[in-house]
Amino acid sequence: MSPAATTTAPASATGVTTPTRAPVITGLGVLAPTGIGTEEHWSSVLAGRSAIGRITLFDPAPYPVRLAGQVPGFVAKERVPSRLIQQTDRWTHLGLAAAEAAIADAQVTPAELAEYEMAVVTSSSSGGTEFGQHEMENLYQHAPDWVGAYQSIAWFYAATTGQISIRHGMRGPCGVLCCEQAGGLDAIGQARRLVRTGAKLVMTGGTDASLCPYGLTAQLSTGQLSTVQDPARAYLPFDAEASGYLPGEGGALLVVEDAEAAEARGAGQGYGRVLGYAAAFDPPPDSDRGPVLARTVRTALADARLDPADVDVVFADALGVPEADRAEAEALAEVFGPRGVPVTAPKTLTGRLYGGGAALDAATALLALRDGTIPHTAGPAAPAPGYEIDLVLGEPRRAELRTALVVARGHGGFNAALVLGHPQGHHVS
């Protein structure tokens, strides 16, 4: 086996050796406030059923934010081997469960594939947050030797990737991207890179579970969370009443495969294809330079060799912070023209899932492509004056969907854009 020696392409230090077709997404594993399982999530989204409620994972009474999206009825021992439950944080429990669901959905048996051609790359925002708080409590309430042996493998940001790799025998290049709430798209972009460097199957996406007192407290420090106490009115992106966002937990993992390899194993057409991706970074807060979101979107479209007119729906970042909403609306209007493309943000039903959020958006976008239905944004009444976007409100909108754009931004200045295509191709403009 000497792949590099057989190509006429220039040598690449990282192994990019052959032209590749767009990778296909053949499996989805969703563990979200809107449902455990892809179809439960999708039906909640289409029905506009909100999963926002009072936090029950701990007593939120002392905090100005008491609402969040929690994964209802998630019992780790039903979905994760008991040995791993005590060794890992809830974030990893959700990741292991989502990975198993994605593998089942893709109808793939990892043991039948080449071990070094399967890879894992996930997004993590804050690692094993709750596990870490418990062990710091052990340390400071008691003594160093009260800190458990699993702290060293549960808290760090690579825990979920490592556990998935081990559980499914995936011995290819593994990775973890921490780009805060943009990370889910960056992980999928990285999965495409890995396919281009020889991986045949990549488990990618992300989950998050930072709903513990210290996690929430840290999030409060950004001043971007909504302190509105009405679950229906707290997270209203693009609305004139936008007051910030609510946090949530969960996410999605996706099976991304090399197109030829997926065909060879008879995987079917899959949910869609990764057509384009780009990442960029905003200038510092004190800069007079503007945000880079419009450029990020254009770069992703150029990467996909598509024009703005080819995009049928945009899944927005929709932070719910007025200044950020305005910047996003302006960027979308700049690229697509005023109200030039349907825009939606079903994440109002779940809250923002940090490392898992953009991955769940990508999964939802793939379901929209599959069913030719744009899910609506539950909550907002109308875009605020001056926001020139066609925000899909009230109910889902039927449409022939060939191409979806997913946009995500992360704290500090991360921007990412992902272009997903229907499995059966796209418009030619």
Partner 1 sequence: MTVTRDAATGRRAVVTGVGVVAPGGVGREAFWKLLSDGRTATRRISLFDPTDFRSRMAAEADFDPVAEGLSPRQIRRMDRAAQFAVVSAREAVEDSGYDFAAADPARTGVSIGSAVGCTMGLEEEYVLLSDAGKHWLVDHTYGVPHLYGYMVPSTLAVEVAWEVGAEGPVALISTGCTSGLDSIGHGVQLIEEGSSDVVLAGATDAPLSPITSACFDAIKATSPNNDDPEHASRPFDAERDGFVLGEGAAVLVLEEKAAAEARGARIYGEIVGYAGRSNAFHMTGLKANGREMAEAIRVCLDRARLDPTAVDYINAHGSGTKQNDRHETAAFKRSLGEHAYRVPVSSIKSMVGHSLGAIGSIEVAACALALDRQVVPPTANLHNPDPECDLDYVPRTAREHAMDVVLSVGSGFGGFQSATVLARPGAVAYEGSAR
With binding defined as CB under 8 A, does residue 222 bind partner 1?
yes
- Residue 73 or 144: which CB sits closer to partner 1? 144
Minimum gap (Å) between residue 39 Cβ and partner 1: 28
* Pairing label, strands 414-421, 403-410: antiparallel
C-beta of 353: minimal distance to partner 1 in Å?
Answer: 14
Measured from the CB atom, the residue of 394 and 425 that comes closer to partner 1 is 425
**Residue number with CB closer to partner 1 (163 or 348):** 163
Task: List residues bridging with 24 in a β-sheet.
Answer: 257, 273
Angle at 303 between CA 301 and CA 308, to 5 degrees: 15
Task: Specify the stretch interacting with partner 1 by CB under 8 A; choose among 68-76, 128-136, 236-244, 367-375.
Answer: 128-136
The pattern of x and - marking residues 131 through 150 that bind partner 1 according to CB under 8 A reads -xx-xxxxxxx-xxx-xxx-
Name the one range near partner 1 by CB under 8 A: 30-38, 264-272, 282-290, 356-364.
282-290
87 or 243, CB closer to partner 1? 87
Alpha-helical runs (H) found in 125-276: 129-141, 151-154, 159-168, 183-196, 213-220, 259-264
Closest of 403, 364, 314 to residue 35, by C-alpha: 364
Where helices occur in 36-168 by DSSP H, the ranges are: 38-47, 76-79, 82-87, 90-106, 129-141, 151-154, 159-168
Q: What letter would DSSP give residue 4? A: G
Query: According to the binding rule CB under 8 A, does residue 178 interact with partner 1?
Result: yes
Q: In this chain, which stretch among 247-255, 289-297, 324-332, 399-407 interacts with partner 1, using CB under 8 A?
A: 289-297
- DSSP states of 322-377 as a string? HHHHHHHHHHHHHHH-TT-SEEE-GGGGT-B-GGGHHHHHHHHHHHHHHHTEE--B
Q: Which of 153, 309, 393, 399 binds partner 1 (CB under 8 A)?
A: 153
Kindly tell me which residue out of 34, 38, 124, 207 binds partner 1, with binding defined by CB under 8 A: 124
Burial (0-12, 13-18, 19+ Cβ within 10 Å), 296? buried
DSSP assigned state of 220: H
The stretch among 46-54, 116-124, 236-244, 324-332 that binds partner 1 (CB under 8 A) is 116-124
Nearer to partner 1, 193 or 347 (CB): 193
Q: Site residues for partner 1, window 4-23 (CB under 8 A)? A: 4-5, 7-22
Output the smallest distance, CB 134 to partner 1, in A. Answer: 9
Q: Least distance (Å) from partner 1 to the CB of residue 173?
A: 4
- Of the residues 35, 175, 231, 322, which one makes contact with partner 1 according to CB under 8 A: 175
* Distance (Å, whole) CA 233 – CA 241: 8
What 2-9 contacts at long range (C-beta under 8 Å, 24+ apart), as own/partner pairs, is 3/198
Q: According to CB under 8 A, which one of 33, 127, 231, 308 is a site residue for partner 1?
A: 127
Binding mask 186-215 for partner 1 (x = CB under 8 A): x------x--x-------------x--xxx
Side chain identity, residue 85: I
Residue 140 beta carbon to partner 1: minimum distance, rounded to whole angstroms: 3
Which residues, numbered 253-272, are part of the site for partner 1 (CB under 8 A)?
A: 259
Residue 217 CB, shortest distance to partner 1, in Å, is: 4
In the numeric block, which tokens belong to residue 342? 């349907």
- Among 218, 253, 247, which Cα is nearest to 71's? 247
Exposure string over 32-68, b if 16+ CB within 10 A, otherwise e: bbbbbbbeebbebbbebebbbeebebeebeebebbbb
**Strand ranges (E), 188-271:** 201-208, 250-257
Instruction: Specify the residue, 14 or 109, whose C-beta has the smaller distance to partner 1.
Output: 14
Which of residues 92 and 344 has its CB atom nearest to partner 1 in the complex? Answer: 92
Q: Report phi then psi at 256, rounded to 5.
A: -110, 130
Reduced to 3 states, what is the DSSP secondary structure of residue 289? coil
Check residue 176 for interaction with partner 1 (CB under 8 A): yes
Q: What would the x/- binding string for partner 1 be over residues 389 to 428, using CB under 8 A?
A: ---------------------xxxxx------x---x---
**Binding to partner 1 (CB under 8 A): which residues in 24-53?**
none
Q: Output 125 or 204, the one with its CB closest to partner 1.
A: 125
